[in-house]
Chains A and B, each alone.
Chain A
């Protein structure tokens, strides 16, 4: 039973490990869960899930597993009267769609397939494209989008049980917080650390102490130095809008990782390609632009420049004056890119597009050439490679 539960959790994408599972079994051996399901739920959650954003997913699996266990005691779905199903279908389908049911071999065939699958399936199910459940593309289930679909459940729940803790799913809105997965990125960004000593004297400087003690004819002369800090300065240019919408999430992760890793981080937004203006606040991008020249003058050449963008656009946006999709640019994007690259010799471009597609997009190739091939995929390994180039 529990082994199955363990694998269900792993299938649901929870990173439950064997030692954790063994810990849970130890705890059960020690009689910690007593005989109540609720206590078992709390115990297993605290032993197996270490991230509150995953509680929701755990609740779903727990609910599914235990409802599965309950259905073993005689609550089979295949008791649903056929008339009821038929009525649901008639309510839910237009004439045209009903005609399309014929595509599956007609009503009888559909019902037979349904019956057969009900027999094969013993548990609540969500997602996927075969089993009966919610949110999938199988013809059977609820909230799906197969036009030939048969709605099951959802309406009047036949067995309305008391709401259980895990079915309340209190942690729903915590799921998918931004912090997710930033740890890997932070570790990759750490490569770009350059320590320098600044601030108050804090640590013993052993070498200097020995030297001055020796000079002092053996009388101790203690020397202190300030602690080391990461002194790397980073300019981050982020592409926003348009085709970048697909990559918002990974960019947000990168941004939040970079923010906590670098004390001296300046960021600016651009769209598709860099031109004469950049902005810091997307809501005020039209009236609060900062001239790119000012950026170049303000931040010294020892800043490391990181572009983040998919570099996917029309080649004209890079090579021709007036090529920008948003405004009339007097100079082509390539000129501005060259200006920036001349000012900041240490620079890379991080591209969230998969590497396989790079060769098929002319604008990516152009920017890669401009960047002297210093374009890297926005993955943890790409990030590490890029950081090495920046050092």
Chain B
């Protein structure tokens, strides 16, 4: 492996286009924005990039209440007020009450770190705009202590989004973008192979068959994704389900065993049962 190049890991199959985007971001020190269906391994990507390049990983998980400032630092005024009441010595230095955020931690890192900003679309619609300068110049100013925090090494920033909100253009311009597509059957079998090495060929192909048939069912509310497939195969292996059961369970005629791992919505299960019923009636 070329040094400093990401080419997937033992546990993570990266497609060529994903590698191109990640390596471009790594080389040029720009954020990499990853979008895709839930369960296609967006969050895992950061862990695997850190692992494969041997770099520390910092994580910042975004919630609907997260503010951009929290990623930089927070001034814990309440703690300082309390300390002043109790007459503590540390109250005189404001720096004692500046709590570093994930971005600051990453900027401070001794070696080039990987920073994951997870599910950026969960935050307020203006959130990405508040981070423009920080991501561009990799520096910010702490008003309380009048110090400029600058990244010692430009971190590799990986941002994931579930597409719940549109991101502003100014923010997008600064990123490399990759959309993780749902893997095709060939990629999928190599992904399964990585997670369950030595899986019987036949079981795998039958399981994938049933899985893709299920995914193709029109009108599903939540299509099963890669992570659900992996869970399902784990269950099949744990229970030692014979290949015949899967084949007999051609999803057009009956529900596959442990379908609960794949269909997570009772309306979907209901829809699926109805389809099976119709198919059976037609077959007669």
Contact = CB atoms under 8 A, between A and B. Distances in A.
Contact of A23 (B28, B82, B165, B178): B28
Interface in B1-44: 16-17, 20-21, 23-24, 27-28, 30, 33, 35
Interface in A179-202: 179, 182-183, 186-187, 190
Nearest to B33: A50
A334 to B, nearest CB: 39
B159 to A, nearest CB: 12
Given A19-B173, A27-B27, A220-B81, A42 B163 contact: no
Interface centre among A15, A46, A227 (most CB of B within 10 A): A46
Size category of the B interface is: 20 to 34
A328 interface: no
A222 B80 CA distance: 12
B17 A42 contact: yes
Contacts of B165: 183, 186, 260
Given A52-B35, A187-B125, A220-B85, A17 B173 contact: yes
Interface in A5-20: 15, 17, 19-20
B78 interface: yes
A325 interface: no
B274 interface: no
Interface of A: 15, 17, 19-20, 23, 26-27, 30, 32, 38-39, 42-43, 45-47, 49-52, 55, 170-171, 179, 182-183, 186-187, 190, 204, 219-220, 222, 227, 260
23 contacts: A15-B169, A23-B28, A43-B21, A45-B17, A46-B20, A46-B21, A46-B24, A46-B177, A46-B178, A47-B176, A47-B177, A49-B177, A50-B33, A50-B173, A52-B35, A52-B179, A55-B179, A170-B181, A183-B125, A187-B125, A204-B78, A219-B85, A260-B164
9 tightest A-B contacts by CB? A42-B20, A50-B172, A46-B21, A52-B179, A183-B166, A42-B17, A50-B177, A46-B176, A220-B85
Interface of B: 16-17, 20-21, 23-24, 27-28, 30, 33, 35, 65, 77-78, 81-82, 85, 125, 163-169, 172-179, 181
